[in-house]
Amino acid sequence: MHKVPENLLLPDWPAPEQVRAVSSKRTGGYSGQGFASLNLGDHVGDEPTAVARNRRLFQTLSAMPTKPYWLQQVHGVAVARPDLECNQTGPIVADAAYSRSAERVCIVMTADCLPLLLCDKAGREVAAVHAGWRGLAAGVIEQTVKQFQAKPADILVWLGPAIGPQAFEVGAEVRAAFIKQQAAASAAFTTQPSAKYLADLYLLARLRLQALGISAIYGGNFCTYQQADDFFSYRRDGQTGRMATAIWLETPQ
């Protein structure tokens, strides 16, 4: 893509040339009301015809080589393999996708949860991850990194649009779940007068990536809750649409 459409976001990271990645914004689509307008979620109550048109538009604007590998996300740790399951007809229940094959589009949907994109420095493998706090705590990042043949030191990560640290209020049980696994996670929680905490999803993800030996981490400067013109937010609006974040390998020339 020479000129980036206004409703797309390209990761700012030093990925190899054959790695293609993109994230959608909420604008420029066909949905109405609370789903206005580029809603890519087919499970949120939007008109199916509008969602189908939005998905086709997103695929076209992003210059994807094939149809994206849409997942049924459940806040778990399963990692799908589009390169091995490309003939699958039903929905695949997973919260991450990993591929070593060209033209297999790994994709996740979010509306406050954290989308992560991963690739190796050689440009031979890619992955997309959907990580809310439950998935993070359960180990979805760790399960995805296990799929890589590259060493952690040779993996790049981009953190896409998620709810920011000034807007994500959680209970004490969430804080306890992370600190039990990683004492350093305490730095990602700020005490509130309500006895709840503000949680920094980006920092929680960085800490877990760094613990795995991954240091090349980019992005993480968005807030879906506060940037209402650009992003859907479940915390802000309740019933709402979904953005998508995708990555794939181009066929070598």
Confidence of residue 103 (pLDDT cuts 50, 70, 90): very high
Distance CA 47, CA 42 (A): 8
Strand ranges, E, within 126-241: 126-131, 155-159, 169-170, 189-191, 197-199, 216-219
Q: Is the pLDDT of residue 86 over 60?
A: no
pTM exceeding the 0.95 threshold for the entire prediction: yes
Domain 13-163+214-249 in this protein, CATH class: alpha beta
Tokens 């086709």, located at residue: 56
Q: Is the pLDDT of residue 253 over 80?
A: no
Q: Strands 96-99 and 79-80, how do they pair?
A: parallel
Average pLDDT over residues 167-186: 98
Cis, bond preceding 37 (omega within 30 deg of 0): yes
Where exactly are the structural domains of the chain? Answer: 13-163+214-249
What's the pLDDT score for residue 87? 59
Distance CA 55, CA 107 (A): 12
Q: How many CA atoms are closer than 13 Å to the CA of 151, on its beta-carbon side?
A: 3
Average pLDDT over residues 115-141: 98
Report which of 242, 157, 160 is spatially closest to residue 201, judged by C-alpha positions. Answer: 160
Q: Is the pLDDT of residue 23 over 60?
A: yes
Q: Output the CA angle 229-235-237, nearest 5 degrees.
A: 55
What's the pLDDT score for residue 1? 45
Q: Is the pLDDT of residue 219 over 60?
A: yes
